[in-house]
A and B are shown apart, each in its own frame.
Chain A
Amino acid sequence: MNTSSQTASYPGSWQKPPFIENPLLRWGLIVGAAVYLTAALGTMEIDIDRVMEGLPRGKRFLDAFFPPNFADNRGVMWEGILESIWMAIISTVVGIALSVPIGLGAAKNLAPTWVYLACRSVIAGSRTFPEIILAIFAVKLFGFGPFAGFIALSLGTIGFFAKLLAEDIENISPVQAEAIRATGASWFQWINYAIQPQVMPRMIGLSVYRLDINFRESAVIGIVGGGGIGATLNTAFSRYEFDTAAAILIIIIAIVMTLEFCSGFLRKWVQ
């Protein structure tokens, strides 16, 4: 037996294979990232003196947060939070109602090309601009208050929900759709019995998720005049009532945690 040739066929040490196999791409990405980072950091203009000066002020600022003051402005806080919740609910419902037809139109396997392109461009337009920018324009058009926030959040919902709905419809099993079509179903029956049951569980989960996002966004839309808890928060900041601001932030975190818990529970229950 020739044992030496057998041991020779095993290398003595092993190395982890690199994550990106193509060496050209790997080194290209590394060098590109390094060049970009030096350029970016070089032009950042960090004012160290200002930061140093700000740090003790930052400590005082953080000290002012504690203890959070839930009591003094309770009435205003309650009103803001309720307004945010109602705004989030109604904008989610209206946004989803608007996104269902758009989502159906943006699914490649349902719609003719021109409808597809039109719906996709609506989605792209709504996705490009953050809710805040939409809110700025809504406030200009509709005046201060929750109505502007409602419009901005509904438009934001379209970009999110219609896109995911369209992608989900494109990924459905065509077998069931064909089976329903073979029974001679009309278009509406086809949508209702073949498409809807397949996408419904995920869509319910997503709508709760979007409710969660809309509530969180409603907390900042107030900064530009869109009503809700954000307006209260912004007022608290500009009146230097940081203890109230801390209380509002804690309430926002608590509501978001509750919503997240509920959405996880609901998603499990639906599926």
Chain B
Amino acid sequence: MPTMTQNGELSWKRRTTATQLRNWAYWLIGIAIVSFAWHLISEKTIWFFVQDAPRQAADMGARMVPPKWSYMSQLWKPAWDTINIASIGTIIAMVIAIPVAFAAASNTTPHLLVRSAALFVIVSSRSVNSLIWALMLVFILGPGILAGTIAIGLRSIGFCAKLLYEAIEEIDQSQVEAIEATGASRIQKIVYGILPQVMPTIAGVGIYRWDINIRESTILGLVGAGGIGLQLSGSMNTLAWTQVSMILLVILATVFISEWVSAKVRGAII
């Protein structure tokens, strides 16, 4: 037990002297890195604009109220598209992610090479943001909902497959062995031994990702991939601030509703 002498008496302290010194050294290194980073960022900042920001914010805020309620009539369709992009994208992602997850889990993978390939798919899909996927797909498929949906799908494969394969690796092996003892084939083992164990995870991950995708699909329009982001960037470019605030309200409402729905469905299934 680390102790120290205080007023001639032995007393408790939390760490030994060596640990304490080591912690201080870590803090020193951390603070050095952070202040270096801050130095570089502040070099590239025009401080006049930063000082001016509160006034600008007040100005922008004043221009944004009241929201242009009549604009809502043009927003129903984009909002509906946004939800569709998220839902269909999530379905595409789950359909691809489940086999990928089974290929990536160390206890179900057919071969080590397949496993590395699956892990590579997961990492590259996770590393590239949906906006970048959308940017590329708009070049190929043309602007519109399809590009956004596929972008959301490609982006979500990695996330879903990663969470699923971790769940598959953590299953109770004894049930699989029991199924195996009946003489079940490889596929039967997966269907009767593993799938029932990870089914709640599959449902949970799908709904969780859908919730995230609703948020992501609101911005895809910025690069022309459909949804409400198109209206947002259009309104901002024409400086129609009352429309911008209306769109932000719609996004807020959509996200709240999706969060409520996902909480309800998750509660009902799991």
Q: B-contacting residues of A (Cβ < 8 Å)? A: 16, 19-20, 25, 36-37, 40-41, 43-47, 50-51, 53-55, 57-58, 61, 82-83, 86-87, 89-90, 93, 128-130, 132-133, 136-137, 140-143, 145-147, 150, 193, 216-217, 219-220, 223-224, 227, 233, 237, 249, 252-253, 256-257, 260
Q: Cβ of B205: which chain A residues have Cβ within 8 Å of it? A: none
Cβ contact within 8 Å between B131 and A54? no
Cβ contact within 8 Å between B56 and A140? yes
Q: Cβ of A36: which chain B residues have Cβ within 8 Å of it? A: 87
CA of A93 to CA of B192 in the docked complex: distance in angstroms?
Answer: 47
CA of A54 to CA of B147 in the docked complex: distance in angstroms?
Answer: 11
Cβ contact within 8 Å between B124 and A47? no
B50 within 8 A of A: yes
B135 within 8 A of A: yes
Out of B88, B139, B144, which one reaches A58, CB within 8 Å? B139
CA of A110 to CA of B223 in the docked complex: distance in angstroms?
Answer: 44
Contacts A143-B49, A223-B135, A260-B123 given; indicate if A20 touches B269 (C-beta within 8 A).
Answer: yes
Q: Cβ of A224: which chain B residues have Cβ within 8 Å of it? A: 222
Contacts A54-B140, A54-B142 given; indicate if A132 touches B127 (C-beta within 8 A).
Answer: no
Cβ contact within 8 Å between B218 and A89? no
Q: A-contacting residues of B (Cβ < 8 Å)? A: 14, 33-34, 36-38, 40-42, 44-46, 49-50, 53, 56-57, 60, 80-81, 83-84, 87-88, 123-124, 126-129, 131-132, 135-136, 139-142, 144-146, 149, 192, 196, 199, 203, 215-216, 218-219, 222-223, 232, 236, 248, 251-252, 255-256, 268-269
Contacts A46-B145, A128-B252 given; indicate if A256 touches B218 (C-beta within 8 A).
Answer: no
CA of A237 to CA of B232 in the docked complex: distance in angstroms?
Answer: 22
Out of B41, B144, B255, which one reaches A47, CB within 8 Å? B144
CB closest residue in chain A, given B236: A136
Judged by DSSP, the binding face of B is: helix
How many pairs, one residue from A and one from B, have CB atoms within 8 Å of each other in the complex?
149
CB closest residue in chain A, given B202: A19
CA of A133 to CA of B219 in the docked complex: distance in angstroms?
Answer: 7
Q: Cβ of B223: which chain A residues have Cβ within 8 Å of it? A: 223
CA of A237 to CA of B33 in the docked complex: distance in angstroms?
Answer: 32
> Which one of B14, B127, B223 has the greatest number of beta carbons of chain A within 10 Å?
B127
Cβ contact within 8 Å between A257 and B132? no
Contacts A141-B57, A147-B44, A223-B222 given; indicate if A90 touches B142 (C-beta within 8 A).
Answer: no
CA of A130 to CA of B33 in the docked complex: distance in angstroms?
Answer: 28
CA of A202 to CA of B50 in the docked complex: distance in angstroms?
Answer: 35
CA of A219 to CA of B248 in the docked complex: distance in angstroms?
Answer: 24
Cβ contact within 8 Å between A44 and B146? yes
Q: Cβ of B192: which chain A residues have Cβ within 8 Å of it? A: 16
Cβ contact within 8 Å between A61 and B139? yes
Cβ contact within 8 Å between B127 and A40? no
Q: Shortest beta-carbon distance, B157 to chain A, in Å?
A: 14
Out of B127, B129, B222, which one reaches A257, CB within 8 Å? B127
Cβ contact within 8 Å between A142 and B50? yes
Q: Cβ of A61: which chain B residues have Cβ within 8 Å of it? A: 136, 139-140
Cβ contact within 8 Å between B38 and A90? yes
Q: Cβ of B56: which chain A residues have Cβ within 8 Å of it? A: 140-141
Q: Cβ of A142: which chain B residues have Cβ within 8 Å of it? A: 45, 49-50, 53
Contacts A141-B56, A141-B60, A193-B14 given; indicate if A43 touches B139 (C-beta within 8 A).
Answer: no
Q: Cβ of A89: which chain B residues have Cβ within 8 Å of it? A: 33-34, 37
Out of B57, B129, B216, which one reaches A216, CB within 8 Å? B129
Out of B38, B123, B251, B268, which one reaches A129, CB within 8 Å? B251
CA of A18 to CA of B265 in the docked complex: distance in angstroms?
Answer: 17
Q: Shortest beta-carbon distance, A271 to chain B, in Å?
A: 16
Q: Shortest beta-carbon distance, B212 to chain A, in Å?
A: 10
Cβ contact within 8 Å between A145 and B251? no
Out of A20, A46, A219, A253, which one reaches B146, CB within 8 Å? A46
> 7 pairs across A/B with beta carbons < 8 Å?
A50-B142, A83-B44, A142-B45, A143-B46, A143-B49, A253-B127, A253-B128
> Which one of A36, A40, A233, A260 has the greatest number of beta carbons of chain B within 10 Å?
A40
Q: Shortest beta-carbon distance, A200 to chain B, in Å?
A: 12
Cβ contact within 8 Å between B60 and A87? no
Contacts A36-B87, A141-B60, A142-B53 given; indicate if A128 touches B123 (C-beta within 8 A).
Answer: no
